[in-house]
Structures are given as structure tokens and as C-alpha cells.
Amino acid sequence: MRTVHHLTLPRALHPGAWWLWSLGMAVAASRTRNPVLLLLILAVTGFVVAARRSDAPWAHSYGAFLKLGLVVIGLRVVLQALLSTRSQGNTVLFTLPQIPLPDWASGVKLGGEVTAEALITALYDGLQLAVMLCCIGAANALASPRRLLKSLPGALYEMGVACVVALTFAPQLVTDSRRIRAARRLRGRTRGSFRTTAMPVLEGALDRSVELAAAMDSRGYGRTAQVPKQQRRLTGLCVLLGLLGILLGVYALLTDSMAFPFAASTLGVGLLLAVGAMAVGRQRVTRTRYRPDPWALPEWLVVGAGAIAAAAMVTAAARGVTGLVLPGPMVVPPAPLLPILGILVGLAPALAAPPLVRRAVA
């Protein structure tokens, strides 16, 4: 008799903690274009995913986000090579055939000289976006989308069917891609066209997500109790204003388009309005929750690690620490101490989250 070992968690970490940690790492990546810091963030998220992911099918989605990040970098570099001008640098690497454009597009160049400064700048910009995508991919690989949906506040239950389609589409896409590739290898087919491979993957992922949403709807998911109309309108207005405040605050923090005190106060007011409205809207929920995910010390440690990493980068940017923004594309990227220490704190979930154990099945 052969014994098979399966990876299980003694107590699965709350999925919301993984998402908050990954968003904190994404905020840290949004504050810099230094390739040293960006690659360090990528290494930190990859290490945590390798240390704490389960053996579920959706846990392998991090690799898909890595490939998507490489595609983003490639597209950014190619577009920059086609549209770059001499004003972006003087070190000409090669010259592409230039396509003449009409007079109304006189400010646009297609082809011509390609400078090293333009390509390196595009590489750094694409790397920043790729690392932010990988941070979101880490949350998809570590947090179960169904458990995350189960943990939604009561005021958001009516959006559950739409959320489950959105949250399960990407993991199902990876699962169906692996299944179709394995089936083609069993049939002796190593190559396939886009129509025979990509279309079944997209169709299968969408069908599974819609089937799950239909099953939840048939079981009464999101059914609410009767409450006064004024209370419903006030709750909806507070939720809307709170979400707008959160979006505005997060956008200001990511883009540095507003002063930090104003962005932080807007985010805080939005969170207070959203949390208060969700607490009131919970009265409409009539269903019970079976074995709710606890929020204990490991969840706080994981969220705190992501918050410290984001706060370190935001503080360094506010203080003008050198190294977050390079003075030029051709300089050697420095390694500032404060951002590096803050990013390294993001490794804490590899120790703070419940460890993986092996369960033997005969």
C-alpha cells in the first residue's frame, strides 16, 4: 500500500489578511522605480508564496502572474522602442525604419533612432507594473476566493454573485490551462493553436465561475430581511461615500498626486463611513455562517508586515530619501537602507502564518 502525503493547513489564515498584505506590498512597489527595490519586493512575495501556499489548484496562479508581468515588460519596451525620440537620450543603440506620418500627427514618431535611455526607462516602468501584478498574484495564490467571499461584510452580500465570478475567474483560468495541457500531452499533441487551446481555457473558466454563482444564488445566497426604506438608502449612501473616499485615498497614495495628510485623512474617513455602513447593513442578513474564519494574532502579524512595508516606502518618499527615484536611467541603482528594511519586514508572513503540515492518506 502506497502512502500519499497531502499538504494541509492546521488553521487556514484568514483570506482577508493575505489580500491586505499583498496590497501593502503593491503600495510599496508603486512608490519606487528602483529595480533593486522592485526585485526585492518580487523576491519577498515569491518566497512567501512558496512557503505558505497550499496544494489547491488556484495556489499555482502565481506563476501565471509572473508570465503576465514578463509580457507587460516586453510590451512596454517594444512600444517605447517604436515611439522613442532623441529627446529621451543621446545614446543611440540602433535605428528602425521610420514610417512617415501625416501632418496632424507631427508630434508622434513611429520608428527611427532608439536610445538606450528610453529602453532602460521603459524597462523600469514595466518592471514596476509587473511587480504590482505579482503582488496581486500572490494574494490569488494564497487566499481562497470562496473563503474570502464568505467573509464579506453583510452590507456587501448582494454583490456576492458578481464577486464570485470575478474572484474565481483567474484561478479557474490557471486550473483549466493546466488540465488542457495535460490532456493534450496524453494524446501525444505537444503543439496547439490559439483556437484549440486558449478558447477552451477561457470558456471553461467562465463556465465554472458562472456555475458556482448560480449554485450560490439557488441556495439563497445574499437573501436579505426587510428593513425600512430610509435605512436602506442611508446605508447605501454611506457605503458609496465610504468606497469613494477609500478609492480617492488609495489613488492619492499610489500616485502621490495629493499631499500625504489629505490622502491619509480621506482614506480614514472613507474607511470609517464604509465600516459603519457595513455594520448597520449587517442587520439585513438572515443567514448564519458555518465555521467563520477567525481573526487572531497571525492575521494581525501578516497585515502588519504589509502595512510596515508600505509605510516605510511612503515615509521614505515623503522625506525625499535618495534611491526611490533614480536621477537618470544610466546611473547605477542605489540600495537605500530604510526601504530595504521595510520591504524585508514583508517576509514575516512566511513565519507568522500557520505552517504547512503533511497529512498522510493511505
pLDDT in tens, 288-311: 666 677 788 888 999 999 999 999
Give domain status of residue 24, yes or no. Answer: yes
Residue 67 has pLDDT above 80, yes or no: yes
The last residue of a domain, from among 174, 190, 224: 224
User: What is the domain count for the chain?
Assistant: 3
Give domain status of residue 41, yes or no. Answer: yes
Residue 256 has pLDDT above 90, yes or no: no
Pairing of strands 357-361, 92-96: unpaired
Task: Specify whether 21 is located in the same domain as 139.
Answer: yes
Residue 120 CA to residue 204 CA, distance in Å, equals 39
Chain-centre distance for alpha carbon 107? 35
Task: Specify whether 208 is located in the same domain as 317.
Answer: no
Task: Specify whether 212 is located in the same domain as 128.
Answer: no
Give domain status of residue 360, yes or no. Answer: no
Maximum CA extent, the chain:
78
Residue 128 has pLDDT above 80, yes or no: yes
Task: Specify whether 258 is located in the same domain as 327.
Answer: no
Put simply, whether the predicted model's pTM sits higher than 0.75 gets the answer: no
Backbone phi and psi for residue 6, each to the nearest 5 degrees, phi listed first: -115, 145
- Highest-confidence range of 140-144, 156-160, 193-197, 332-336, by mean pLDDT? 332-336
Residue 254 has pLDDT above 50, yes or no: yes
What's the half-sphere exposure (Cβ side, CA atoms, 13 Å) at 249? Answer: 18
In this predicted structure, what is the pLDDT of residue 154? 56
Pairing of strands 112-115, 357-361: unpaired
Residue 310 CA to residue 293 CA, distance in Å, equals 26
Task: Specify whether 338 is located in the same domain as 260.
Answer: no
Give domain status of residue 9, yes or no. Answer: no
Give domain status of residue 362, yes or no. Answer: no
Task: Specify whether 118 is located in the same domain as 206.
Answer: no
Residue 316 has pLDDT above 70, yes or no: yes
Task: Specify whether 64 is located in the same domain as 163.
Answer: no
Residue 71, C-beta contacts closer than 8 angstroms, at least 6 positions apart: none
Q: Name the residue range of residue 231's domain.
A: 226-284
Spatial contact of 99 and 110, defined as CB atoms under 8 Å apart: yes
In this predicted structure, what is the pLDDT of residue 344? 94
- Quick one: pLDDT band at residue 74, thresholds 50, 70, 90? very high
Positive or negative, the CA dihedral 168, 170, 175, 180 is: positive
Cα-trace Rg, the chain: 24
Residue 153 has pLDDT above 70, yes or no: no
Least confident range from 9-18, 64-73, 171-180: namely 171-180
Task: Specify whether 42 is located in the same domain as 68.
Answer: yes
Distances, alpha carbon 344 to alpha carbons 2, 41, 326, 338, 347, in Å: 41, 8, 21, 10, 6
Give domain status of residue 359, yes or no. Answer: no
In this predicted structure, what is the pLDDT of residue 7? 42
Report the candidate in 356, 301, 262, 237 with the shortest Cα–Cα distance to residue 20.
301
Give domain status of residue 358, yes or no. Answer: no
The last residue of a domain, from among 208, 224, 240: 224
Task: Specify whether 120 is located in the same domain as 50.
Answer: yes
Distances, alpha carbon 249 to alpha carbons 1, 246, 253, in Å: 58, 5, 6
Residue 204 CA to residue 198 CA, distance in Å, equals 10
Higher pLDDT, 127 or 107: 127
Task: Specify whether 52 is located in the same domain as 165.
Answer: no
Task: Specify whether 43 is located in the same domain as 124.
Answer: yes
- Quick one: pLDDT band at residue 45, thresholds 50, 70, 90? very high
